Amino acid sequence: MENTAKPLKYENNTKNLKFTQWTIEKRNLHDLNELKSNIIKNLENSDLLDKKALLMLSGGKDSATALALCKELNINVELCIHYVHNWSWDISKNEAEKLAKKYEVPIIFPDITEKLSKKIRGAKGKSICRICKDIMKIRAVEYAHENGFDIIITGDTALEKISGPILDDLREKNPNSEDKEFYHKMELSKIPRRYDTYFLRPLLRLSQNDVMAIHEHYNINVQRVHEVGDKIGHWREGCCLKYCDPEEKISTDLFNEVFELNKYLTEVARENNIRASVLLPSKDILVLPKTKGNVKIVLDAINDFYVSRRISTNETCVCSKNGDENENKSKSKDENKNETLTLDNFSYSRWQGW
């Protein structure tokens, strides 16, 4: 969809928002107005202010906040892109669609199931997020290059590892700077270099508390899946595949079970206003708030899921990992999978430090 009109000049006439001490001290960023000014200046200096931008919209709070901020700045966001696969949350897709409609930006939904299924061969659970993000980033870059987009916008925050390479690049370009002035350039970069593409990350210097404050500032309402998420202390959702055990060899069979169980579990979590997830095949649980009552809700839901599944399939084995495993080993795994979880025999996950 071609838009030949130049964006309107941004006028900063909205209420300011002071940032937390972490963002002020660690990222040399004091308030929302300063962030807006930095972003506009960086785009102007790179002759990108009126160029076409493609925004990667997950349907979560970070990318939603990035979209709202960019639209207020009159950045030329011509298209949103939301990737789906067989195991992605419908809620996330629906929220992305609502957000795109709210901000009057077209949106597309490329399916990466086939590519993801091929890329996971031989990989372990701890690699799934990296594999999936690489696929999405490469596809976004290809789409941008093929369709005349000069900028890719993401919802990356200070929690993301990409901050390190960007800071290293800026320090290399500003070897004599000791006052962190170059931090003002973090939002716009060509890092990773291998893509040869400008990435605008408007939230990259912000703590999660500041992201949430801006989220509320723009009065954004995003429905949550009610999974636990992948960052301690922060409610960051994504997709269920991160709940494969880190050292487990992953497969589409494992993905299917992880998706079905966590989909059911998050439905129960939403009904009870808690957050819940379970890792497989270990069945280690994550639940917030972590109370005895909430643990009981999660354990009952997991047990109900497997009872219902056995009845519907008329099988005692929910699934087996590999057809070439010996019978005794397979039987042992099946018995463990069907074991009823109780307050006496369940395990809290130690995943990501929980």
Judge whether residue 14 has pLDDT over 80. no
Report residue 330's pLDDT band, with 50, 70 and 90 as the boundaries: very low
One-letter identity of residue 147: N
Judge whether residue 336 has pLDDT over 70. no
What's the pLDDT score for residue 141?
98
What's the pLDDT score for residue 326?
42
Judge whether residue 69 has pLDDT over 60. yes
The SS3 assignment for 192 reads coil
Judge whether residue 206 has pLDDT over 80. yes
Q: Which strand (E) or helix (H) includes residue 281?
A: none
What does the mean pLDDT of the chain come to?
Answer: 87
Interatomic CA distance for residues 130 and 247, integer angstroms: 15
pTM of the predicted protein model = 0.86
Give 77-116 pLDDT, tens digit per residue. 999 999 999 999 999 999 999 999 999 999 999 999 999 9
Write the CA distances from 56 to 74, 153, 310, 331, integer angstroms: 17, 6, 39, 44
Give 117-155 pLDDT, tens digit per residue. 999 999 999 999 999 999 999 999 999 999 999 999 999
Output the CA angle 37-42-46, nearest 5 degrees: 150
Question: 33 or 346: whose pLDDT is higher?
Answer: 33
Report residue 341's pLDDT band, with 50, 70 and 90 as the boundaries: confident
Judge whether residue 354 has pLDDT over 60. no
Nearest to 225, CA basis, from 91, 97, 93, 96: 91
Question: 48 or 320: whose pLDDT is higher?
Answer: 48
Report residue 346's pLDDT band, with 50, 70 and 90 as the boundaries: confident
Nearest to 245, CA basis, from 263, 256, 258, 232: 258
What's the pLDDT score for residue 181?
87
Write the CA distances from 179 to 27, 36, 160, 207, integer angstroms: 11, 20, 23, 20
What's the pLDDT score for residue 311?
75
Q: 182-190 — which CB contacts under 8 Å span 24+ positions? A: 183/27, 183/28, 183/29, 184/28, 184/29, 184/38, 184/41, 184/42, 185/38, 185/42, 186/27, 187/35, 187/38, 187/39, 187/42, 188/39, 188/42, 188/43, 188/46, 188/48
What's the pLDDT score for residue 306?
93
Report residue 188's pLDDT band, with 50, 70 and 90 as the boundaries: very high
Judge whether residue 18 has pLDDT over 50. yes
Give 260-290 pLDDT, tens digit per residue. 999 999 999 999 999 999 999 999 999 999 8
Interatomic CA distance for residues 159 and 233, integer angstroms: 12
Question: 20 or 237: whose pLDDT is higher?
Answer: 20
Write the CA distances from 349 to 69, 114, 241, 245, 332, integer angstroms: 36, 30, 15, 10, 21
What's the pLDDT score for residue 150?
98
Question: 339 or 238: whose pLDDT is higher?
Answer: 238
Cβ within 8 Å of residue 116, ≥6 positions away: 85, 131, 132, 135
- Percentage above 90 pLDDT, the chain: 75
Query: Beta-carbon neighbour count of residue 292 at 10 Å?
Result: 7
